[in-house]
Structure 1
Amino acid sequence: MDESTEKVQEGLCATDADFRKLYSVEGISTKEDDMQEMEIALQALTEIDFRLAYFSEKLMNLHVLYIYLLARENDLEAIDTKDDCILANFFERAMTFDLLSGILDSEVRELDNFMDTLQEEIVDARRKIFSCRHLTEVSHMMEEKLLGCEESMKQFQQQLLELKMQSTQLQKTIAALKDDNFN
């Protein structure tokens, strides 16, 4: 090959490379990419739904435990600890009450930590939904769903705060019962 032919071929190769670069599909979203982004965002929303359902169930069970403890608290306060036989019964009930209120307190703290994790997952889901912004109808529906999840979370946070205060009050009751009857 002569020198001019080589230059023409190099120019064609360069032009061909520039042409491929100009019209490459890199950076351009394909339907498959869109579906994958949408599936990832939907998966994140589903995870949040499951976690909210878990949180709701756990909160309800802890509320039931709290109501049970309130009834036991009333029973303990009504017991006259002057009689030795009754004192043994009182001690057993007080220990059970102490144990169960400790479990309640521990579970409330665990849910509080869980709430922090859930908040992080909601932020992550929002980022994933944002990546689907070009799929306007789908992303709008996912955003509405996420807003509903956030509203549920706010309600659960309020209920958890109330349960936390109630659990603290039970801990004070245990301390007062110990002071009154075992000192």
Structure 2
Amino acid sequence: MDTQSAKDTVDIDLGGVSPCGEVIGDLGDDDMVTVLTGMKLNLAFFSEKVANLRNFVMHLETLGVELEGFVLDREDNDVDVGCVGKFLEFDLLCGVLGSEVVELDRFLDTLYAEIADAGERVTSCKPWQDNLLDPEQCLKQSEEQFSEIKKLSASFERTLSSYKRGGIGM
């Protein structure tokens, strides 16, 4: 009979003992499952947010190309209403992206702390340790994508600054 069906049949409080029989602080089997589930849900949130930001960045890249076309086509004193509208949209969306990057960067720090905490709690139990491998790999992959988004966000901000210095959209 496996552990889960035994727990379903008889309500046993493990009292802070892992499936390996090790004491893991005040955490029992159910508590560890809760910790790992919460961590995995936060990781899924982070990964989904990164995927959404990648789509957002693609839209900003397209908008940046359009703006560049406006800038190249305009004459010295000619201010096009379409150019001003695109500039304002680009400015607003760059601000939104910058805000999301800052927020997600903070969340990433929290996620790493959660993984480290869970890792410390399960160091003596191989079955629980195996539950941390996939999330760590997934986090590294999402973090690489997020790092690229951060670079692009900084690039957009530089582009925006150069447009402002050049008087585009004003």
Q: Same-fold call, TM > 0.5? A: yes
Alignment coverage as a number of residue pairs: 147
Q: Give the corresponding residue for 1:11.
A: none
2:104 is the alignment partner of 1:87? no
SS at match of 2:75: coil
2:42 is the alignment partner of 1:51? yes
Q: Give the corresponding residue for 1:65.
A: 56
C-alpha contact (below 8 Å) 2:101/2:150 kept by paired residues: yes
Q: Give the corresponding residue for 1:107.
A: 100
2:23 is the alignment partner of 1:32? no
C-alpha contact (below 8 Å) 1:76/1:90 kept by paired residues: yes
Moved more, 119-128 or 66-75: 119-128
Moved more, 80-89 or 92-101: 80-89
Matched AA of 2:28: E
Matched AA of 1:32: L
State the distance in 1 between where 2:118 and 2:46 align: 18
SS at match of 1:127: helix
2:155 is the alignment partner of 1:175? no
2:150 is the alignment partner of 1:164? yes
**How well do the aligned residues superpose, as a CA RMSD in angstroms?**
2.3
Instruction: Give the drift of 1:86.
Output: 5.8
Larger Rg belongs to? 1
C-alpha contact (below 8 Å) 2:47/2:139 kept by paired residues: no
**Superimposed CA distance per residue, residues 82-107 of structure 1 (whole angstroms, 9 cap, x where no aligned partner):** 39886221111101101101111110
State the distance in 2 between where 1:82 and 1:31 align: 77
Matched AA of 1:104: L
State the distance in 2 between where 1:69 and 1:44 align: 37
Q: Structure 2: which 5+ residue stretches go unaligned?
A: 1-11, 19-26
Which structure shows the higher helix fraction? Answer: 1
SS at match of 1:32: coil
Aligned residue among 68, 71, 82 for 1:77: 68
Q: Structure 1: which 5+ residue stretches go unaligned?
A: 1-29, 134-138
Which ranges of 4 or more aligned residues in structure 1 deviate by more than 6 Å? none
Fraction of identical pairs, as percent: 31
**Superimposed CA distance per residue, residues 111-133 of structure 1 (whole angstroms, 9 cap, x where no aligned partner):** 11101101111122123324xx4
State the distance in 1 between where 2:107 and 2:13 align: 36
C-alpha contact (below 8 Å) 1:69/1:100 kept by paired residues: yes
Structure 1 residues 37 and 141: CA distance shift in structure 2, 3 A: same
Matched AA of 2:59: Y
2:89 is the alignment partner of 1:96? yes
**Superimposed CA distance per residue, residues 117-154 of structure 1 (whole angstroms, 9 cap, x where no aligned partner):** 01111122123324xx4xxxxx3222111121111112
2:32 is the alignment partner of 1:41? yes
State the distance in 2 between where 1:175 and 1:109 align: 19
Give the TM-score taking structure 2 as reference length.
0.78
Instruction: Give the drift of 1:109.
Output: 1.4
SS at match of 2:74: coil
